[in-house]
Amino acid sequence: MKKLLLALALVPAMGSAQTLADRAPALRDAALNDDHLAWDLVEGLTTEVGQRLAGTEAEARGRAWAVRRLTALGFANVHVEPFDMPVWVRGEEHAEIVSPFPQRLVLTALGNSGATPPDGITGEIVAFESVAALEAAPDAAVRGRIVFIDHHMMPTQDGSGYGQFGAPRRQGPTAASRKGAIAIVVRSIGTDHHRNPHTGVQTFADGVRPIPAAALSVPDAEQLQRILARGLPVRMHLTLTPRQTGTHQSGNVIADVPGTDPGAGMIVIGGHMDSWDLGTGAIDDAAGIAITLAAADRIMEAGRPRRTIRVVLFGAEEPGGLGGDSLYAHHHPGDRVVLVGESDFGADRVWRVNAGLAPSNAALAARIGAVLAPLGILTGHGEADAGTDLGPWVRGGVAGIDLNQDGTRYFDFHHTPDDTLDKIDPAQLRQNVAAWTAVLALAADAPEPIAGLPPRPQRP
Amino acid sequence: MKKLLLALALVPAMGSAQTLADRAPALRDAALNDDHLAWDLVEGLTTEVGQRLAGTEAEARGRAWAVRRLTALGFANVHVEPFDMPVWVRGEEHAEIVSPFPQRLVLTALGNSGATPPDGITGEIVAFESVAALEAAPDAAVRGRIVFIDHHMMPTQDGSGYGQFGAPRRQGPTAASRKGAIAIVVRSIGTDHHRNPHTGVQTFADGVRPIPAAALSVPDAEQLQRILARGLPVRMHLTLTPRQTGTHQSGNVIADVPGTDPGAGMIVIGGHMDSWDLGTGAIDDAAGIAITLAAADRIMEAGRPRRTIRVVLFGAEEPGGLGGDSLYAHHHPGDRVVLVGESDFGADRVWRVNAGLAPSNAALAARIGAVLAPLGILTGHGEADAGTDLGPWVRGGVAGIDLNQDGTRYFDFHHTPDDTLDKIDPAQLRQNVAAWTAVLALAADAPEPIAGLPPRPQRP
């Protein structure tokens, strides 16, 4: 009899009276061991829709797919917030060395590349090892030629090479056009050795004439270097026929897990719906969508959190964060958002958390670090960045949280035809869901206020 | 004074009176540590010529390149032995799923594929897990449709999966055409997960109408499986415009290291000059050419061997060993060839030797096993095969030697755009040269006769 009474007395403490925050470790472990939703979502989106180039009907099919799935899952307030954007689409792309050693090279147009005539152009290659070297060259060395910019990029766990080594792609086309080049080809911003070139956005500066601009696969860039090393003039025939198609619609898909306390502010997380057109956008960024949705779904299934959790599937991230800008323009400062975080760096394990919280939230940051440590996640001491899409909020003074994924192999596949489902390891995907689930359980249910931080300048 | 006399007395034993066979270990180690010629050759051929599709002007440029290089290196009797062949060339190649989930798939035509009209064909996919399953299906299930044959291939060190798992490529097109299919697509015969499809030869049986036949990259085959798993009818639009161009010339390049004893018979080794058109034919088979030439060059530099060493750079191996057949037809049995061996399995380390020698040459086989063991090379107990190009000699009763290369990653790149120089590890390439150098030193200088073996049937 005494035993029974004791057992009954324990029920409230062990059962329903536990808060979501109390249950964060258990929710984390359940996700780590059992989550199938993230895989189902990334498999479904990449299989049933495939590539989702921003502003195209493929991206629209992605939104429709998401609205159907998220409604069926029971998310609240599922809807699309549309916006308009200029849409660039790929055409034919071929390149051949004409002389001294005739052979085909594999390349792909960069976003917003200009076009050659349908039968291409032919020009002599002039090679530089950096954008700085191109800018230092006399115009006469460049005028009428095809610029080639090489570089070397090593894999890094934190992806920090992408900024520095992305310069040839981002600044090269404008610099080459200003000097009168007829086209530019750059080594892909990638760390692999496969003949899959890496596309990506670049934007010609105001008043600069768009020229054809493309990325050679890494083996092709190395081949061109070897050909150039013979010291003979090298002529390339280049055909690129992309085009600007005018203004079309993109949009953000919104899905909410409603909270109990509107006064406590909202948490916004997500990933981006659009992808480049070459692969199926599995690691960039169906995975980010799937991870954040699966984590939010686990909270929804576990009980109602204090704060509303909003998941946003952003449109048009790749052309320059247009979906993120649209969300910020329409919802800031009207919505009371207190914490943001994006998943947009593949599907490999989270290895570090950077909690960009106010000093008054040090206790929450410590609880987050503690719940993540059993997943092997280090507590970092950097600022949060919140990705391209939610960065405007962080810069606007909202707390952010970054769950840094291992990027060692991310730039092997990023923006290539190889960004496909097989690159995702289900066990690592589950670790991501576990981390986000634990963070959401703690943050959405935190009893203390989540404070803002001093704003920083928005990017131009 | 005594010391000087002793030293002089030792000179003959340590110096020039040593036979090449005595010096095999030293020649082996020098190659392992210092060889640069093999790399120079494979780098040169893949850079200055690139792909070398059989019977095309690119393959002819390869022969011209080789004649120049081998003459300059001092090989004797450098010449081309031409032969005629039918030449098939690739055209446009595109595929899209039309319904239920519109998206592009990456594929490439198989050798001798038929063509679609320029604007393609559209048909429903009917899938089989093997050629046997296709053959067992009622014609009505296949007629008017596009056949898809899947399979699963695991990497093996000895490459033994290529025979079994190559059936969909080799037998699938004929089986599909016989049942009235309008086209066939197969999973690439490959072990990678990159969107680089694997081409390769197939030959329609006599009287069978050529239909369009292509290989999907492995990720695309898996994507098609996922799409089919939804249970809806799947329609594909397929455009393939390859063509048969008629009869053109190929040829074998011959280069000799002359021996001192014509009565001792000749050793013939080599690799093949032609490659598929998608990559630069680095591992298949510029490497084999480079390895055997570098080894023969080391013997030539070390002193004159007893037996002539002939290196043959075969033309048109890929379409079905046409260069090998031509050599055998013109030189057997007129030339007294006593030993043959081909290098045609990439550039990774030799891990096993199979010396297919007569029982009377057991001592030579033992010496070969002993000189290779310090390179980590096992002595196998299989028969020698001597590759596609020199296989006819082995089947005709000539002794053969196989230096089996590690094939674990060979089918990641084989017959794809990814067969490029960067896939070759210079240290492993040198180990190959060391092994061939040691074998040539022992075999070319063996004092005993090298005997023949009982002939086996030639392949049909």
Question: pLDDT tens digits, residue range A63-105?
Answer: 999 999 999 999 999 999 999 999 999 999 999 999 999 999 9
**Distance, CA of A408 to CA of A347 (rounded, Å):** 11
- HEC string of chain B? CHHHHHHHHHHHHHCCCCCCCCCHHHHHHHHHHHCCHHHHHHHHHHHHCCCCCCCCHHHHHHHHHHHHHHHHHCCEEEEEEEEEEEEEECCCEEEEEEECCCEEECEEECECCCCCCCCCEEEEEEEECCHHHHHHCCHHHHCCCEEEECCCCCCCCCCCHHHHHCHHHHCHHHHHHHCCCCEEEEECCCCCCCCCCCCCECCCCCCCCCCCEEEECHHHHHHHHHHHHCCCCCEEEEEECCEEEEEEEEEEEEEEECCCCHHHCEEEEEEECCCCCCCCCHHHHHHHHHHHHHHHHHHHHHCCCCCCEEEEEECCCCCCCHHHHHHHHHHCCCCCEEEEEECCCCCCCEEEEEEECCHHHHHHHHHHHHHHHHHCCEECCCCCCCHHHHHHHHHCCCEEEEEEECCCCHHHHCCCCCCCHHHCCHHHHHHHHHHHHHHHHHHHCCCCCCCCCCCCCCCC
Q: What is the mean pLDDT of residues A289-297?
A: 98
| Highest mean pLDDT pick, A256-270, B2-16, B148-162 | A256-270
Torsion over CA: A378, A384, A390, A393 (sign): positive
Question: How many CB atoms are closer than 10 A to CB A381?
Answer: 8
Question: CB-based contact (8 Å) between A267 and chain B?
Answer: no
Which among A43, A196, A279 has the least Cβ separation from residue B226?
A: A43
Residue B122 pairs in a beta bridge with B237
> What does pLDDT average to over chain B?
95
pLDDT band at B152 (very low <50, low <70, confident <90, very high): confident
Does the pLDDT value for residue B137 go beyond 60?
A: yes
Beta-carbon separation of A195 and B196 below 8 A = yes
Torsion over CA: A206, A212, A214, A220 (sign): negative
Of the candidates A221, A137, A151, the one whose C-alpha atom is nearest the C-alpha of residue A180 is A137
Q: Is A460 helix (H, G, I), strand (E, B) or coil?
A: coil
Question: CB-based contact (8 Å) between A152 and chain B?
Answer: no
Mutate to test the interface with B, among A42, A418, A421, A423 (most CBs of B within 10 A): A418
**Distance, CA of A323 to CA of B21 (rounded, Å):** 73
Does the pLDDT value for residue B13 go beyond 50?
A: no
**Which residues does chain A have within 8 Å of residue B218's beta carbon, measured at their own beta carbons?**
422
- pLDDT (tens digit, 9 = 90+) per residue, B86-106? 999 999 999 999 999 999 999
Name, in order, each residue with C-beta under 8 angstroms of A22's C-beta and a sequence gap of 6 or more: none
Mutate to test the interface with A, among B422, B423, B425 (most CBs of A within 10 A): B422
Which among A50, A218, A418 has the least Cβ separation from residue B194?
A: A418
**Which residues does chain B have within 8 Å of residue A103's beta carbon, measured at their own beta carbons?**
49-51, 58, 280
Of the candidates B460, B19, B20, B44, the one whose C-alpha atom is nearest the C-alpha of residue B286 is B44
Question: CB-based contact (8 Å) between B279 and chain A?
Answer: yes
A405: closest CA of chain B, how far (Å): 22
Assembly ipTM: 0.93
- pLDDT (tens digit, 9 = 90+) per residue, B53-63? 999 999 999 99
Question: Which chain A residue's Cα is nearest to B197?
Answer: A195
pLDDT band at A16 (very low <50, low <70, confident <90, very high): low
Does the pLDDT value for residue B196 go beyond 50?
A: yes
Place of tokens 């005539």: A117
Question: Which chain A residue's Cα is nearest to B228?
Answer: A47
Question: CB-based contact (8 Å) between B424 and chain A?
Answer: no
Mutate to test the interface with A, among B39, B45, B194 (most CBs of A within 10 A): B194
Which among B101, B194, B423 has the least Cβ separation from residue A49?
A: B101
pLDDT band at B425 (very low <50, low <70, confident <90, very high): very high
Q: What is the mean pLDDT of residues A146-159?
A: 94
Name, in order, each residue with C-beta under 8 angstroms of B341's C-beta and a sequence gap of 6 or more: B269, B384, B386, B387, B390, B400, B401, B402, B403, B439
**Distance, CA of B431 to CA of B429 (rounded, Å):** 5
Does the pLDDT value for residue A6 go beyond 70?
A: no
Spacing of C-alpha A11 from chain mean position: 44
Q: To 10 degrees, what angle do helices A387-395 and A322-331 make? A: 30
Spacing of C-alpha A343 from chain mean position: 7
The DSSP H or E segment spanning A326 is helix A322-331
Determine whether A116 is exposed, middle or buried from the number of CB atoms within 10 Å of its CB (0-12, 13-18, 19+): buried
Determine whether B320 is exposed, middle or buried from the number of CB atoms within 10 Å of its CB (0-12, 13-18, 19+): middle
Of the candidates A355, A364, A281, the one whose C-alpha atom is nearest the C-alpha of residue A317 is A281
Cis check for the bond before A100: say yes or no (omega within 30 of 0).
yes
- pLDDT (tens digit, 9 = 90+) per residue, A209-237? 999 999 999 999 999 999 999 999 999 99
Question: How many CB atoms are closer than 10 A to CB B302?
Answer: 18
Instruction: Name the token pair of B55.
Output: 């019977």
A434: closest CA of chain B, how far (Å): 26
**Which residues does chain A have within 8 Å of residue B100's beta carbon, measured at their own beta carbons?**
48
**Which residues does chain B have within 8 Å of residue A51's beta carbon, measured at their own beta carbons?**
103-104
Beta-carbon separation of A51 and B230 below 8 A = no
Question: CB-based contact (8 Å) between B47 and chain A?
Answer: yes
Q: What is the mean pLDDT of residues B392-420?
A: 98
Instruction: Name the token pair of A431.
Output: 């670790």
Q: To 10 degrees, what angle do helices B37-48 and B57-73 make? A: 150
Torsion over CA: A407, A410, A411, A414 (sign): negative
Question: How many CB atoms are closer than 10 A to CB A332?
Answer: 14
Cis check for the bond before A173: say yes or no (omega within 30 of 0).
no
Beta-carbon separation of A421 and B103 below 8 A = no
Instruction: Name the token pair of B254.
Output: 């011959």
pLDDT band at A7 (very low <50, low <70, confident <90, very high): very low
Determine whether B86 is exposed, middle or buried from the number of CB atoms within 10 Å of its CB (0-12, 13-18, 19+): middle
Does the pLDDT value for residue B15 go beyond 50?
A: no
pLDDT band at B3 (very low <50, low <70, confident <90, very high): very low
- Out of A101-105, A159-163, A314-318, B437-441, which region has the weakest mean confidence (pLDDT)? A159-163
- HEC string of A186-237? EECCCCCCCCCCCCCECCCCCCCCCCCEEEECHHHHHHHHHHHCCCCCCEEE
Which among A102, A106, A420 has the least Cβ separation from residue B417?
A: A106
B402: closest CA of chain A, how far (Å): 30
**Distance, CA of B69 to CA of B72 (rounded, Å):** 5
**Distance, CA of B68 to CA of A101 (rounded, Å):** 16
Which among A47, A103, A416 has the least Cβ separation from residue B227?
A: A47
Question: CB-based contact (8 Å) between B241 and chain A?
Answer: no
- pLDDT (tens digit, 9 = 90+) per residue, A43-63? 999 999 999 999 999 999 999
**Distance, CA of B179 to CA of B137 (rounded, Å):** 9
- HEC string of A375-391? HCCEECCCCCCCHHHHH
Beta-carbon separation of A223 and B420 below 8 A = yes
Beta-carbon separation of B50 and A101 below 8 A = yes
Backbone angles phi, psi at B300, to 5 degrees: -60, -40
**Distance, CA of B212 to CA of B121 (rounded, Å):** 10
Q: What is the mean pLDDT of residues B219-238?
A: 98
- Assess contact for A212 and A121: CB atoms under 8 A: yes
Which among A48, A227, A280 has the least Cβ separation from residue B47?
A: A227
B226: closest CA of chain A, how far (Å): 7
Residues 176-235 on B with a CB inside 8 Å of A are: 193-196, 218-219, 222-223, 226-227, 230
Question: Which chain B residue's Cα is nearest to A99?
Answer: B48
Of the candidates B344, B355, B340, the one whose C-alpha atom is nearest the C-alpha of residue B394 is B340
Cis check for the bond before B333: say yes or no (omega within 30 of 0).
yes
Q: Is A177 helix (H, G, I), strand (E, B) or coil?
A: helix
Task: Fill in the amino acid letter for A215.
Answer: A
Beta-carbon separation of B103 and A193 below 8 A = no
- Interface size, chain A vs chain B, as Cβ–Cβ contacts under 8 Å: 93
- Assess contact for B154 and B191: CB atoms under 8 A: yes
Name, in order, each residue with C-beta under 8 angstroms of A93's C-beta and a sequence gap of 6 or more: A107, A108, A109, A214, A239, A240, A241, A242
Does the pLDDT value for residue A8 go beyond 70?
A: no
Q: What per-residue confidence (pLDDT) applies to B16?
A: 54
> What does each C-alpha distance from A160 to A192, A345, A407, B92 come to in angstroms?
16, 12, 9, 39
pLDDT band at B459 (very low <50, low <70, confident <90, very high): confident
**Distance, CA of A52 to CA of B241 (rounded, Å):** 28
Percent of chain A past pLDDT 70, that is, above it, reads: 96
- Assess contact for B304 and B259: CB atoms under 8 A: yes
| Rg, Å, chain B Cα set | 24
Percent of chain B past pLDDT 70, that is, above it, reads: 96
- Assess contact for B178 and B209: CB atoms under 8 A: no
Beta-carbon separation of A280 and B223 below 8 A = yes
More confident: A419 or A15: A419
For B378-409, give one letter per residue: b (16+ CB within 10 A) or e. Answer: eebeeebbbbbbbbbbbbbebbbbbbbbbbbe
Does the pLDDT value for residue A152 go beyond 90?
A: no
Does the pLDDT value for residue B7 go beyond 60?
A: no
**Which residues does chain A have within 8 Å of residue B280's beta carbon, measured at their own beta carbons?**
103, 223
Q: What per-residue confidence (pLDDT) applies to B274?
A: 98
Beta-carbon separation of A417 and B51 below 8 A = no
**Distance, CA of A349 to CA of A428 (rounded, Å):** 5
Q: What is the mean pLDDT of residues A247-263?
A: 98
